[in-house]
Structure 1
Amino acid sequence: MEQTLYLDRHYSLVEACKRGDRKAQYELYRLYSKSMFNVCMRILNHMGEAEDVLQEAFLDAFQKIHDFRQTSTFGAWLKQIVVNRAINQLRQRKVQWVEVEEAEYVGEEALLQDETEWEVERVRAAIQRLPDGFRTVLSLYLLEGYDHEEIAEVLGISESTSRTQYMRAKRKLVEMLST
């Protein structure tokens, strides 16, 4: 099977990093740190942990830069490292996932039929108040673009648990925002 190679706009920086260029590492850090920090915050909801995870993820990326094969963009590759690190940090908190039967799954579409316009800050604050499991699944699905199969694999839960956590997170979010 033929693999697609992506020509990344930061290709020259990645190549310089592979040669050990510290300035190139700093430049990649400068370009990606803010967005990757936001990913950490959406998953962890704790500034100190997010900062630590971000630093560890960049260290991992720079140590493993020779493994980057351009089958995705550098940003996508880095984001995967960041998400995995954040999820591992979350696991260290011993998040309790609620296993449920597939039969409990209710159609997601019905929950938010009446799309009311809420202020972005109010929604962001409500998401931050969600329990870790709910917030993680909701963030990965809505904000990071993962599907339930990918979420299940990354978090080590069943696909139905991912769907249920997502459904419950949306329900809880609607409840929080309607009060």
Structure 2
Amino acid sequence: MKLFTKPKSDEDKLIEGCIAGKREMQRLLYDLYAKKMMVVCLRYAPTTFEAEDIMQDAFIKVFNNIQNFKKDCPLEFWIRRIMINTALKHLRSKQLLTVSHEAEEVANLSSGEVSLSGYTMDELLSMIQSLAPRYRMVFNLYAIEGYNHKEIGEMLGISEGTSKSQYSRARAILQSMLLRQENNLKEHVISN
């Protein structure tokens, strides 16, 4: 009796090619994920230049460690995690994860909810990038990546309570920015 084996998927072939060091397969993997991963890096980095550096370093790690990839999670998730960890390491090395002194601004913020439907991805990304590094990290990790505050605390070397507090402040600052933009738009429409 002959046993049937499941044919290899395109992803399996891609991974095997990268493990074997085949440049064309590495290029294919890079091309497949670069745009999505650049968006991840831009959310963490203060500038596009730094985001590009982070992504470059992270893809080197991906290629150097692809033999360790286990199929218990999607490849994209595994790559994203490397991007995030590389971004955090980069920001730690630049000492950009120090505590911010935006308490005065936070104290004056409105707690009103704002609709995001009128904003482009670039506008929202720009607002997130304008946050102080610590707030930006916590906001991205919690609101976008889905980590809980305990995990964030462990990743950033802060307490769970500090993570919650910084997320709350980041959210309030972003809401304030959105409210200011909405008010500016309303004033512009009224004056015309």
CA-atom RMSD in angstroms? 2.1
Task: Tell me, yes or no, if structure 1 residue 119 matches structure 2 residue 123.
Answer: no
Sequence identity, in percent? Answer: 37
> Is the 1:41–1:47 Cα contact (8 Å) retained in structure 2?
yes
Unpaired segments ≥5 residues, structure 1 = 1-6, 99-109
- Report how far residue 35 of structure 1 moved: 0.7
Letter in 1 for 2:26: Q
Distance across 2 between alignment mates of 1:20 and 1:125? 37
Bigger Rg, structure 1 or 2:
2
Give the structure 2 partner of residue 144 of structure 1: 145
Q: TM-score, normalising length from structure 1?
A: 0.81
SS at match of 1:63: helix
Give the structure 2 partner of residue 4 of structure 1: none
Q: TM-score, normalising length from structure 2?
A: 0.76
Tell me which of 99, 103, 125 is aligned to 1:97. Answer: 99
Q: 1:165 to 1:8 in 2, by over 3 A?
A: farther
Unpaired segments ≥5 residues, structure 2 = 1-7, 101-109, 181-192
1:73-99 Cα shifts (integer Å, max 9, x gaps) = 11111111110000011112212136x
Letter in 1 for 2:99: W
- Report how far residue 132 of structure 1 moved: 0.8
Distance across 2 between alignment mates of 1:35 and 1:168? 27
Residues 1-16 of structure 1: pairs in structure 2 closer than 5 A: 10-16=11-17
- Report how far residue 178 of structure 1 moved: 1.8
Report which structure shows greater RCO (CA 8 Å, sep ≥6): 1
- Report how far residue 111 of structure 1 moved: 4.0
Letter in 1 for 2:135: F
- Report how far residue 26 of structure 1 moved: 0.5
Distance across 2 between alignment mates of 1:159 and 1:9? 41
> Is the 2:114–2:175 Cα contact (8 Å) retained in structure 1?
no
Distance across 1 between alignment mates of 2:160 and 2:170? 15
Task: Tell me, yes or no, if structure 1 residue 133 matches structure 2 residue 141.
Answer: no
Letter in 1 for 2:115: T
Give the structure 1 partner of residue 74 of structure 2: 73
Moved over 6 A (4+): none
> Is the 1:123–1:177 Cα contact (8 Å) retained in structure 2?
no
> Is the 1:39–1:82 Cα contact (8 Å) retained in structure 2?
yes
Task: Tell me, yes or no, if structure 1 residue 170 matches structure 2 residue 166.
Answer: no
